[in-house]
Amino acid sequence: MITLNEITKAFGIRVLFEKVSFTFNDGNRYGLTGPNGCGKSTLLKIIMGMIDPTSGTVTLPARVGILRQNIEDYLAMNVLDVVIMGNERLWGVFKERDDLYEQEMTDDIGIRLGEIEEIIAEEDGYSAEANAEKLLIGMGIGGEHHTLAMHQIPLDMQFRVLLCQALFGDPQALLLDEPTNHLDLESIGWLENFLKNYRGTLIVVSHDRHFLNAVTTHIADIDYETIIVYPGNYDDMFEAKTAVRERAEADSKSKEKKISQLREFVARFGAGTRASQVQSRLREIDRLQPQDLKKSNIQRPYLRFNVPTKPSGKIVFKLENVDKGYGGDPIIKNLSLEIHKGDRIGVIGNNGRGKTTLLKLLAQVHAADSGTIEFGHQSMISYFPQNHNDLVDKSVDETGFEWLRGRRAGLYDQDVRSVMGKMLFGGDDAFKKIAALSGGETARLILASMMLTDHNVIILDEPNNHLDLEAVSALAYGLADYKGTVVVASHDRDLISQVANKIIVFEEKGIKFYDGTLEEYLKQR
Ligand SMILES: Nc1ncnc2c1ncn2[C@@H]1O[C@H](COP(=O)(O)OP(=O)(O)OP(=O)(O)O)[C@@H](O)[C@H]1O
Ligand SMILES: [Mg+2]
């Protein structure tokens, strides 16, 4: 059970939510929804005690599992350890025990070691490794990876290890911030089943409608500067929210109409003999005064990518017998393929099979181990990496505006502001520090930079992660409209089917090229 008591959070004059009181009950699975930047991650951080609310208090159970997002901090650690760290109390005494064994034995140390053994027993520490291994295998991370360091396994696996960390130690409440972002459809299925059997309190943030519909029993939606909880799944919430909003709008309209009739009467007879009737109408106007409907913060960005006057040559990429790996077996083996000018290629397939590796080869982040890659004549590539931090360094103290200006020499301030406006950084939002930007806002900033720079080839790796529904649909429009060449990897079937006219499939047996849309590919399979 997690209880919010009159929680308010504001950054400066921007109110995210005001005086919210609510109890999240055991056995219920709450989806926390709302557009990018509405305050979902902020609310989770308040619940965890990582940041303070402006006012109000939170009560929560002793064992809370959290999906962390700061992968960088774990890169040097061993995979099994990262999972076991999910139980902070247990991890703390493991460390303490190691330290104590290093020292010379005294009575005090002996007593403390005894206490530690008790805590380890209480926390089921003797089965810790076995339990951690079970979770990892459930997440599709085989035993050969368990003793590696985090940086030795692919990025999507690293995220899954963090998910295991959150689930470790049988937490009474589970807080997950966009857990499906780095999962393929198969792992999402696994997670859905796992969560449906979870008996504690679950709060999960997601922009993935299918996932929310499969998992949640309630939706807590952040909008109108408050949080409203609806029973049911995402589609139920959407229907109820729209109906309530339409009623409120209709109500407010009819009040306005009534008021304008009454005003007309007052204006006509105010100076005349019907004083008492005028008075009663003035009272009526006061009573009817429509409440200002708070504005929804759902907004749609406007996304168009321009192609410079110089087009690329006809062949944009030509790969011949390319191998690429990271030490062990090559992930990409003997790949040959050509990508032509104007192709819009959707890259699909389960995680861990090399989609990101292929995109990094094309974007020239990596070189091939063997084989050749020819880059076409006059190709200008713009790359959206899966990990935003590769591009936006949040440790640098600068604003979104400054970051964007630095993307290209000779930009005018008004050009930067205009693109920012299209990407929903209007007014003062242009001068937010990049460190403060939410996941979706960071993705929008990267897309804004792609609208400002010259390119005739766009490579995007899971661009829809973090983005809300409005932004994903605007992105699909922008890409379908682009006159250059597109290579986009995504698990979002709607996005791929709207954008792609050719498909690269990463199957278990290898990489296949299909000349047609996703629908055509799925039909012939
Ligand atoms: N320290 C800060 N100073 C100013 N504004 C901040 C700060 N931290 C967060 N914000 C702003 O508060 C808003 C809420 O951020 P939060 O990360 O909670 O959004 P979110 O709902 O999780 O969005 P997303 O769906 O993109 O993950 C954002 O507009 C963000 O820029
Ligand atoms: Mg967030």
Single-letter amino acid, residue 512: K
Residue 39 CA, closest ligand 1 atom number: 18
- Residue 303 sits at φ, ψ, to 5 deg, of -125, 115
pLDDT of residue 482: 94
Question: Is the distance from CB of 349 to CB of 525 less than 8 angstroms?
Answer: no
Ligand 1 midpoint to CA 38 (Å): 7
Q: Which atom of ligand 1 is nearest to the CA of 45?
A: 18
- For ligand 1, the distance from its centroid to the CA atom of residue 439, given in whole angstroms, is 8
How far is ligand 2, taken at its centre, from the CA of residue 402, in Å?
22
Which ligand minimizes its atom distance to the CA of 441?
Answer: 1
Q: Do 125 and 156 form a contact (C-beta atoms < 8 A)?
A: no
Return phi, psi of residue 107, to 5°.
-60, -45
Residue 22 CA from chain centroid, whole number: 24
Between the alpha carbon of residue 471 and those of residues 170, 436, 437, the distances in Å are: 36, 19, 16
Distance 417 CA to ligand 2 centre (A): 24
Ligand nearest to the CA of 37: 1
Tell me which residue has its CA closest to atom 2 in ligand 1. Answer: 436
Pick the atom of ligand 1 nearest to 178's CA: 27
Residue 216 burial by CB count (10 A; 0-12/13-18/19+): exposed, middle or buried? buried
pLDDT value for 274: 78
Residue nearest to ligand 1 atom 16, measured at CA: 39
State the span(s) of the chain assigned CATH 3.40.50.300: 2-236, 315-524
> CA-to-CA distance for 123 and 215, rounded, in angstroms?
28
Protein residue closest via CA to atom 17 of ligand 1 = 438
Distance 178 CA to ligand 2 centre (A): 7
Q: How far is the CA of 42 from the centre of ligand 1 (A)?
A: 6
pTM: 0.85
Distance 246 CA to ligand 1 centre (A): 28
Residue-level pLDDT at 291: 67
**43 CA: nearest ligand 1 atom:** 18
CA of 125 to the centre of ligand 1 (A): 37
Question: C-alpha distances in angstroms, 107 versus 113, 117, 120, 503?
Answer: 10, 15, 20, 68
Report DSSP state, residue 366: S
**Buried b or exposed e, range 389-426, using 16+ CB within 10 angstroms:** eeebeeeeebbbbebbbebeeeeeeeebbebbbbbbbe
Residue 485 β-bridge partners: 457
Residue 245 β-bridge partners: none
Residue listed under structure tokens 């720079």: 453
Which one of the ligands is nearest to 32 CA? Answer: 1
Q: Could you give the residue ranges of the DSSP H alpha helices within 270-340?
A: 275-288
Q: Which ligand is nearest to the CA of 227?
A: 1
**Nearest atom, ligand 1, residue 440 CA:** 26
Q: How far is the CA of 282 from the centre of ligand 2 (A)?
A: 48
The per-residue pLDDT for 436 is 94
User: In angstroms, what is the span from residue 438 Cα to ligand 2's centroid?
Assistant: 5
- Short-list 428, 490, 437, CA closest to 463: 490
Asked whether the CA dihedral 480, 485, 486, 487 is positive or negative, the reply is positive
> Ligand 2 mean position to 40 CA, how many Å?
5
- CATH number among 3.40.50.300, 3.40.50.10420, 3.40.50.720, 2.40.50.140, domain 315-524: 3.40.50.300
Ligand 1 contacts (CB < 6 A) are: 11, 16, 34, 36-42, 432, 436-441, 466, 468
- Residue to mutate, 441, 464, 466, 467, ligand 1, most ligand atoms under 8 Å from C-beta: 441
pLDDT score for 39? 95
CA neighbours closer than 13 Å in the CB half-sphere of residue 249: 8
| Triad 333, 465, 39: Cα angle to 5° | 155
Cβ pair 359, 489 in contact under 8 A: yes
424: alpha, beta or left, given left = phi > 0 and alpha = psi -120 to 50?
A: left
Tens digit of each residue's pLDDT, the chain (525 residues): 999 999 999 998 889 999 999 999 999 999 999 999 999 999 999 999 989 999 999 999 988 999 876 777 899 999 999 999 999 899 999 999 999 999 999 999 999 999 999 999 999 999 999 999 999 998 889 999 999 999 998 777 888 899 899 989 889 999 999 988 878 888 888 889 889 988 899 999 999 999 999 999 999 999 988 999 999 999 999 999 888 888 888 888 888 888 888 888 888 887 777 788 888 888 888 887 766 677 787 899 999 998 878 888 899 999 999 999 887 788 899 999 999 999 999 999 987 788 999 999 999 999 999 999 999 888 999 999 998 988 999 999 999 999 999 999 999 999 999 999 999 999 999 999 999 999 999 999 999 999 999 999 999 999 999 999 999 999 999 999 999 999 999 999 899 999 999 999 998 888 999 999 999 999 988
The C-alpha atoms of residue 493 and residue 329 are separated, in whole angstroms, by 30
Q: Which residue owns the Cα nearest ligand 1 atom 13?
A: 37
* Whether 407 contacts 449, CB under 8 Å: yes
Atom 7 of ligand 1, nearest CA residue = 436
Mutate which of 20, 32, 41, 226 for ligand 1? The one with the most ligand atoms within 8 Å of its CB, which is: 41
If one residue of 11, 48, 176, 425 were mutated to test the ligand 1 pocket, choosing by the most ligand atoms within 8 A of its CB, it would be 11
- Four-way CATH pick for 2-236: 1.20.200.10, 3.40.50.40, 3.40.50.300, 3.30.2010.10: 3.40.50.300
Partner residues linked to 222 by β-bridges:
227
